[in-house]
Structure 1
Amino acid sequence: MRGRDDQEPVGTVGARLRRVRPHLTLVIAAGPVAGVVATAVSDGWSPSLAAPLLLLAAGIAYFRTRRFRPRRWPVASAVLGAAGGACVGLASAWFIGVAAAAALGAGGWFVGEHARRRVLEPYTPELADSPVEVPWQARGARGLELLVAHDRITLSGGRGPFRLVRPMVALSGVGAVEQVMVARRTTLPVPGVGELRVTVTPGPAVRITVPPGEWIVPTDHGREIARLVARRKELAGVD
């Protein structure tokens, strides 16, 4: 029997994913194809063709395993594009490779970001019934996100200690999830992960009961997050 990670979403979410497949195919293929063409023109059919072909295989494998994690697509697309540009440089001159890496990397990020937005925005309740990982940006905490997957929730960020530690709790360990109001700016510890702290700004926030305490994440979407987590716990058969 296939798990939710292997199931193709139906309805609105499935349609969104189908619409972005050509974009992701372009991201995966553009760099390696450019590398193959440059290598074939420069060296003919030589062993150096292995580099872009391996890059193509790596891109296919990566996006197959991350197809339900749109948040990762922009950076992955940029890296894949830059690597494809480097393959072009290996078959020509270094300055051509630098230019190709910059152009393909920037183009990859743009296409990946466009695909991410088309899948995740606007947020609709149908996303709760899919295996798509839904990120929620914390208000006033740049780079900090609450990720709600089909089987776990995670605090993730690209700055400070959150780059090294990603607190994660399985849905079976998640208790009450509710919207609360924060009266003043405060810095709260993240229980169970040492010195990690979250700065909570005044306004709405979501409070999530987790072992051994609770997470409080500043966000204007506490009710949507509560419903999303409740629905995914229901689908997972978690009380």
Structure 2
Amino acid sequence: MTEVERRHRRVQRIVAVVYVGIPVVLLAIVAWVSSRGPAAAWIGLVLPVAMLVIGLVLLPRHRYQPRWWAGVGGLLGALTGLIATLYPLVIGVWWPAILAIPAVILGLLVGLLLARRANLALLVPVVPELAESPYELVFQVRGAPLATVLLGADTIQIRSSPTARNEDQTRSYPLSAITGTFEASLSGAERLKFPIALTAVGTPGPAVILQASGEDWVLPTNEAAILIELLDRRRNKP
């Protein structure tokens, strides 16, 4: 078994916990509470079952897309904390409701930490063989904490934030449109032009010069060398 295959198995186990495991925990809590209340209390199972169904539907869609893991994990974790502390009210137990806010925060952190663990299991350390995997590979733009360069199977995408949707916030290029990639070193004083509406603080360090569709873009990232290697391997993949 190769290193990438080992990572894939580890990552997918963690992602399954995020998308399916968290709703299952909530389902068990709600079922336990409902078993101690009136028959009508079983209606409360609708929400955790809905969360479980959504997780099962999204899991195959997001399996190879790390940009979604943190958002989904944080949301499911926060909802689990909220419902788990408020639902005992249906059987007259009120004291868990006092813990609702801490439980929401704890659930949010658990979801985010699981997503982060999956990302680290995939990317640390970054190895060139990841280029042959189906995963989207995400690299941070230095000087703009929310901005990312996302290397997909057939495209490279620059996003101003993980939730960017508008055309001025995200730009994609087919890998076939890329005509050149070069590593550069920035002093931090350069005025950079980006293919999207993005303001980055100038910082010294490595950067990628990307030539695509007749345009040249300078993308500051601390992982410039490995990004170029991965990009070139995917571009030249048969």
Shorter chain as denominator, the TM-score bin is: 0.7 to 0.9
Q: Which residue of 2 aligns with 1:122?
A: 125
What's the secondary structure of 2:236's corresponding residue?
Answer: helix
Q: How far apart in 1 are the matches of 2:67 and 2:22?
A: 21
Q: How far apart in 1 are the matches of 2:16 and 2:64?
A: 15
**Shift in CA distance, 213/87, structure 1 to aligned 2, threshold 3 Å:** same
In structure 2, stretches of 5+ residues that fail to align are 90-96
CA contact (8 A) 1:30 1:81 kept: no
CA contact (8 A) 1:169 1:210 kept: yes
Q: Which residue of 2 aligns with 1:21?
A: 12
Deviation at 1:99, TM superposition (A): 3.7
Q: Which residue of 1 aligns with 2:194?
A: 190
Q: How far apart in 1 are the matches of 2:134 and 2:151?
A: 10
Q: How far apart in 1 are the matches of 2:16 and 2:8?
A: 12
Deviation at 1:118, TM superposition (A): 0.8
**Are 1:107 and 2:110 matched, yes or no?**
yes
Identity percentage over the alignment? 26
Q: How far apart in 2 are the matches of 1:200 and 1:96?
A: 44
Amino acid at match of 2:181: V
CA contact (8 A) 1:84 1:101 kept: yes
Q: How far apart in 1 are the matches of 2:157 and 2:147?
A: 10
Aligned residue runs from structure 1 range 1-239, under 5 A: 11-44=2-35, 46-93=42-89, 94-158=97-161, 165-191=169-195, 193=196, 195-235=197-237, 237=238
Q: How far apart in 1 are the matches of 2:165 and 2:53?
A: 28
**Shift in CA distance, 17/199, structure 1 to aligned 2, threshold 3 Å:** same
Q: How far apart in 1 are the matches of 2:136 and 2:224?
A: 17
Deviation at 1:110, TM superposition (A): 1.4
Deviation at 1:52, TM superposition (A): 0.2
In structure 1, stretches of 5+ residues that fail to align are 1-9
> How many pairs align?
224
Q: How far apart in 1 are the matches of 2:47 and 2:164?
A: 34
Deviation at 1:158, TM superposition (A): 3.1
Deviation at 1:208, TM superposition (A): 0.3
Q: Deviations over 1:205-230 (max 9, x none)?
A: 11001235122011243332222111
CA contact (8 A) 1:185 1:199 kept: no
Amino acid at match of 1:50: V
Amino acid at match of 1:214: D
**Shift in CA distance, 57/97, structure 1 to aligned 2, threshold 3 Å:** farther
Alignment root-mean-square deviation, CA: 2.6
**Shift in CA distance, 229/34, structure 1 to aligned 2, threshold 3 Å:** closer
Q: How far apart in 1 are the matches of 2:12 and 2:26?
A: 22
Q: How far apart in 2 are the matches of 1:184 and 1:37?
A: 53
**Shift in CA distance, 30/111, structure 1 to aligned 2, threshold 3 Å:** same
Q: How far apart in 1 are the matches of 2:83 and 2:185?
A: 52
Q: How far apart in 2 are the matches of 1:117 and 1:133?
A: 14
